[in-house]
Structure 1
Amino acid sequence: MSEHYHDENDLKLLKEMSELAPEEFKAWLNLDRITGREDGKIPRKYRELIALAVAHTTQCVYCIEVHTKNAKRAGASKEEVAEVVFLAAALRAGGAAAHGTLAMKFYDKA
Protein backbone atom coordinates (compact mmCIF):
# COMPACT_ATOMS: atom_id res chain seq x y z
CA MET A 1 0.00 0.00 0.00
CA SER A 2 1.46 3.34 -0.99
CA GLU A 3 0.95 6.33 1.23
CA HIS A 4 -0.46 9.54 -0.16
CA TYR A 5 -1.55 12.89 1.14
CA HIS A 6 -5.32 12.40 1.23
CA ASP A 7 -6.30 9.03 2.61
CA GLU A 8 -9.75 8.78 4.18
CA ASN A 9 -8.38 6.10 6.52
CA ASP A 10 -6.23 8.77 8.14
CA LEU A 11 -9.36 10.09 9.81
CA LYS A 12 -9.39 6.92 11.90
CA LEU A 13 -6.30 8.35 13.61
CA LEU A 14 -8.54 10.95 15.24
CA LYS A 15 -9.50 8.27 17.77
CA GLU A 16 -5.86 7.93 18.79
CA MET A 17 -5.49 11.70 18.93
CA SER A 18 -8.58 11.91 21.16
CA GLU A 19 -6.90 9.52 23.59
CA LEU A 20 -3.59 11.37 23.51
CA ALA A 21 -5.11 14.81 24.09
CA PRO A 22 -8.64 14.24 25.39
CA GLU A 23 -9.46 17.76 26.64
CA GLU A 24 -8.13 19.44 23.53
CA PHE A 25 -9.95 16.95 21.33
CA LYS A 26 -13.24 17.60 23.17
CA ALA A 27 -12.80 21.35 22.75
CA TRP A 28 -12.08 20.96 19.03
CA LEU A 29 -15.02 18.60 18.56
CA ASN A 30 -17.42 21.03 20.24
CA LEU A 31 -16.12 23.83 18.03
CA ASP A 32 -16.45 21.64 14.94
CA ARG A 33 -20.09 20.88 15.79
CA ILE A 34 -21.00 24.56 15.34
CA THR A 35 -21.33 23.96 11.60
CA GLY A 36 -24.01 21.32 11.98
CA ARG A 37 -26.25 23.22 14.40
CA GLU A 38 -29.91 23.19 13.52
CA ASP A 39 -30.94 25.86 16.04
CA GLY A 40 -28.83 28.75 14.75
CA LYS A 41 -30.10 31.78 12.86
CA ILE A 42 -28.28 30.62 9.72
CA PRO A 43 -29.97 27.58 8.14
CA ARG A 44 -27.97 24.34 8.00
CA LYS A 45 -27.55 24.41 4.20
CA TYR A 46 -25.91 27.83 4.35
CA ARG A 47 -23.78 26.86 7.34
CA GLU A 48 -22.41 23.96 5.30
CA LEU A 49 -21.85 26.11 2.21
CA ILE A 50 -19.96 28.66 4.32
CA ALA A 51 -17.90 25.85 5.86
CA LEU A 52 -17.19 24.52 2.37
CA ALA A 53 -15.97 27.93 1.22
CA VAL A 54 -13.72 28.23 4.25
CA ALA A 55 -12.43 24.69 3.69
CA HIS A 56 -11.36 25.75 0.21
CA THR A 57 -9.53 28.79 1.53
CA THR A 58 -7.78 26.74 4.24
CA GLN A 59 -7.27 23.94 1.69
CA CYS A 60 -8.28 21.15 4.05
CA VAL A 61 -9.11 18.21 1.79
CA TYR A 62 -10.89 16.38 4.59
CA CYS A 63 -13.08 19.39 5.38
CA ILE A 64 -13.85 19.82 1.69
CA GLU A 65 -15.06 16.23 1.51
CA VAL A 66 -17.10 16.35 4.73
CA HIS A 67 -18.74 19.72 4.08
CA THR A 68 -19.52 18.90 0.43
CA LYS A 69 -21.37 15.77 1.53
CA ASN A 70 -23.07 17.63 4.40
CA ALA A 71 -24.10 20.49 2.10
CA LYS A 72 -25.67 18.02 -0.33
CA ARG A 73 -27.53 16.30 2.53
CA ALA A 74 -28.74 19.72 3.73
CA GLY A 75 -30.23 20.44 0.31
CA ALA A 76 -27.48 22.34 -1.49
CA SER A 77 -27.44 21.86 -5.25
CA LYS A 78 -24.35 20.97 -7.24
CA GLU A 79 -24.57 24.46 -8.77
CA GLU A 80 -24.46 26.04 -5.30
CA VAL A 81 -21.41 23.96 -4.42
CA ALA A 82 -19.65 25.03 -7.62
CA GLU A 83 -20.55 28.66 -6.98
CA VAL A 84 -19.23 28.60 -3.42
CA VAL A 85 -15.91 27.17 -4.67
CA PHE A 86 -15.48 30.17 -6.97
CA LEU A 87 -16.54 32.59 -4.23
CA ALA A 88 -13.78 31.12 -2.06
CA ALA A 89 -11.31 31.40 -4.94
CA ALA A 90 -12.24 35.04 -5.47
CA LEU A 91 -11.76 35.86 -1.80
CA ARG A 92 -8.44 34.05 -1.70
CA ALA A 93 -7.30 35.95 -4.78
CA GLY A 94 -8.55 39.17 -3.22
CA GLY A 95 -6.43 38.48 -0.16
CA ALA A 96 -3.38 37.98 -2.34
CA ALA A 97 -4.03 41.24 -4.17
CA ALA A 98 -4.58 43.13 -0.92
CA HIS A 99 -1.36 41.71 0.52
CA GLY A 100 0.32 42.76 -2.71
CA THR A 101 0.15 46.29 -1.39
CA LEU A 102 2.67 45.18 1.24
CA ALA A 103 5.05 44.16 -1.53
CA MET A 104 4.68 47.65 -3.02
CA LYS A 105 5.45 49.28 0.37
CA PHE A 106 8.44 46.98 0.96
CA TYR A 107 9.72 47.65 -2.54
CA ASP A 108 9.56 51.40 -2.02
CA LYS A 109 11.44 51.06 1.29
CA ALA A 110 14.18 48.80 -0.11
Structure 2
Amino acid sequence: MSDYQSRGDKAYAKQLMQAANKEATAFLNLKASAERKDGAIPEKYRELMSIAVALSTQCSYCIDAHVENAVKAGATKEELAETVFIASALRAGAAVGHGLLAMKLFEEHAG
Protein backbone atom coordinates (compact mmCIF):
# COMPACT_ATOMS: atom_id res chain seq x y z
CA MET A 1 0.00 0.00 0.00
CA SER A 2 1.79 3.11 -1.22
CA ASP A 3 -0.34 5.76 0.47
CA TYR A 4 -0.75 4.11 3.84
CA GLN A 5 -1.68 7.43 5.45
CA SER A 6 -2.86 10.48 3.54
CA ARG A 7 -5.07 13.56 3.89
CA GLY A 8 -7.75 11.71 1.96
CA ASP A 9 -8.18 9.38 4.93
CA LYS A 10 -10.08 12.16 6.66
CA ALA A 11 -13.04 11.02 4.57
CA TYR A 12 -13.40 8.14 7.04
CA ALA A 13 -14.02 10.48 9.99
CA LYS A 14 -17.80 10.49 9.59
CA GLN A 15 -17.89 6.70 9.38
CA LEU A 16 -15.69 6.38 12.48
CA MET A 17 -17.80 8.83 14.48
CA GLN A 18 -21.06 7.15 13.48
CA ALA A 19 -19.73 3.74 14.51
CA ALA A 20 -18.92 5.02 18.02
CA ASN A 21 -21.16 8.06 18.38
CA LYS A 22 -21.12 8.40 22.17
CA GLU A 23 -17.32 8.17 22.36
CA ALA A 24 -16.89 10.48 19.36
CA THR A 25 -19.16 13.09 20.93
CA ALA A 26 -17.18 12.99 24.18
CA PHE A 27 -13.91 13.28 22.25
CA LEU A 28 -15.17 16.22 20.20
CA ASN A 29 -16.38 18.01 23.35
CA LEU A 30 -12.95 17.55 24.97
CA LYS A 31 -11.25 18.72 21.78
CA ALA A 32 -13.47 21.82 21.61
CA SER A 33 -12.72 22.64 25.22
CA ALA A 34 -8.98 22.26 24.73
CA GLU A 35 -9.03 24.38 21.57
CA ARG A 36 -11.31 27.16 22.80
CA LYS A 37 -10.29 30.72 22.09
CA ASP A 38 -11.46 32.27 25.37
CA GLY A 39 -9.11 30.47 27.77
CA ALA A 40 -6.34 31.95 29.89
CA ILE A 41 -3.79 30.58 27.41
CA PRO A 42 -3.90 32.50 24.12
CA GLU A 43 -4.93 30.59 20.99
CA LYS A 44 -1.49 30.77 19.38
CA TYR A 45 0.15 29.13 22.39
CA ARG A 46 -2.57 26.49 22.61
CA GLU A 47 -1.84 25.62 18.99
CA LEU A 48 1.93 25.52 19.51
CA MET A 49 1.39 23.20 22.49
CA SER A 50 -0.88 21.07 20.35
CA ILE A 51 1.82 20.86 17.70
CA ALA A 52 4.38 19.78 20.31
CA VAL A 53 2.08 17.01 21.51
CA ALA A 54 1.24 15.98 17.94
CA LEU A 55 4.94 15.74 17.14
CA SER A 56 5.51 13.63 20.24
CA THR A 57 2.61 11.30 19.49
CA GLN A 58 3.45 11.36 15.76
CA CYS A 59 -0.09 12.15 14.64
CA SER A 60 0.21 13.40 11.05
CA TYR A 61 -3.38 14.62 10.93
CA CYS A 62 -2.94 16.53 14.19
CA ILE A 63 0.28 18.12 12.95
CA ASP A 64 -1.50 19.22 9.77
CA ALA A 65 -4.53 20.66 11.57
CA HIS A 66 -2.63 22.42 14.33
CA VAL A 67 0.05 23.92 12.06
CA GLU A 68 -2.77 25.39 9.96
CA ASN A 69 -4.48 26.69 13.12
CA ALA A 70 -1.19 28.09 14.48
CA VAL A 71 -0.55 30.00 11.25
CA LYS A 72 -4.08 31.45 11.41
CA ALA A 73 -3.45 32.39 15.06
CA GLY A 74 -0.29 34.30 14.11
CA ALA A 75 2.48 31.82 14.86
CA THR A 76 5.74 32.42 13.05
CA LYS A 77 8.01 29.95 11.31
CA GLU A 78 10.59 30.57 14.06
CA GLU A 79 8.05 29.75 16.79
CA LEU A 80 7.15 26.55 14.95
CA ALA A 81 10.83 25.61 14.62
CA GLU A 82 11.44 26.19 18.34
CA THR A 83 8.34 24.12 19.12
CA VAL A 84 9.76 21.26 17.03
CA PHE A 85 13.03 21.25 18.96
CA ILE A 86 11.39 21.65 22.36
CA ALA A 87 9.17 18.66 21.60
CA SER A 88 12.13 16.62 20.36
CA ALA A 89 14.16 17.42 23.49
CA LEU A 90 11.29 16.36 25.73
CA ARG A 91 10.71 13.22 23.68
CA ALA A 92 14.40 12.37 24.07
CA GLY A 93 14.17 13.17 27.78
CA ALA A 94 11.34 10.68 28.11
CA ALA A 95 13.58 8.01 26.61
CA VAL A 96 16.21 8.80 29.22
CA GLY A 97 13.55 8.68 31.96
CA HIS A 98 12.42 5.27 30.74
CA GLY A 99 16.09 4.32 30.60
CA LEU A 100 16.19 4.80 34.37
CA LEU A 101 13.36 2.29 34.65
CA ALA A 102 15.24 -0.09 32.34
CA MET A 103 18.34 0.12 34.58
CA LYS A 104 16.24 -0.53 37.69
CA LEU A 105 14.54 -3.51 36.03
CA PHE A 106 17.88 -4.83 34.84
CA GLU A 107 19.15 -4.83 38.41
CA GLU A 108 16.00 -6.57 39.60
CA HIS A 109 16.20 -9.25 36.92
CA ALA A 110 19.98 -9.72 37.14
CA GLY A 111 19.66 -10.15 40.89
Q: Which residue of 1 is the match for residue 84 of structure 2? A: 85
Counterpart residue identity of residue 28, structure 2: L
Structure 2 residue 22 is matched with structure 1 residue 23: yes
With structure 2 as the length reference, what TM-score do the two structures score?
A: 0.91
Q: How many residues align?
A: 109
What per-residue deviation string (whole Å, max 9, x for no partner) do you get for residues 71-103 of structure 1? 010000011011101100000000100111112
Q: Is the 8 A contact 1:56 1:64 kept in 2?
A: yes
Matches within 5 A, 1:1-110: 3-109=2-108, 110=110
Q: 1:12–1:92: structure 2 CA closer, same or farther, 3 Å change rule?
A: same
Task: Report how far residue 17 of structure 1 moved.
Answer: 1.3
Q: Kindly state the Cα deviation for residue 55 of structure 1 after the two structures are TM-superposed.
A: 0.3
2-side partners of 1:41 and 1:106: how far apart? 42
What runs of 5+ residues in structure 1 fail to find an aligned partner?
none
RMSD: 1.2
Aligned to 1:32, what secondary structure does the other structure show? helix
Question: Deviation at 1:107?
Answer: 2.1
Q: Shift in Å at residue 33 of structure 1?
A: 1.5
The 1:97–1:79 alpha-carbon spacing in structure 2 relative to 1, beyond 3 Å, is same
Instruction: Provide the TM-score with structure 1 as the length reference.
Output: 0.92
| C-alpha separation in 2, matches of 1:35 and 1:73 | 17
List per-residue Cα deviations over 1:34-92 (Å, max 9, x = no partner).
34311100000000000000001111010011001100100000110111011000000
Unaligned regions of 5+ residues in structure 2, if any? Answer: none
User: Secondary structure of the residue that 2:91 maps to in structure 1?
Assistant: helix
One-letter identity of the residue aligned with 1:26? T
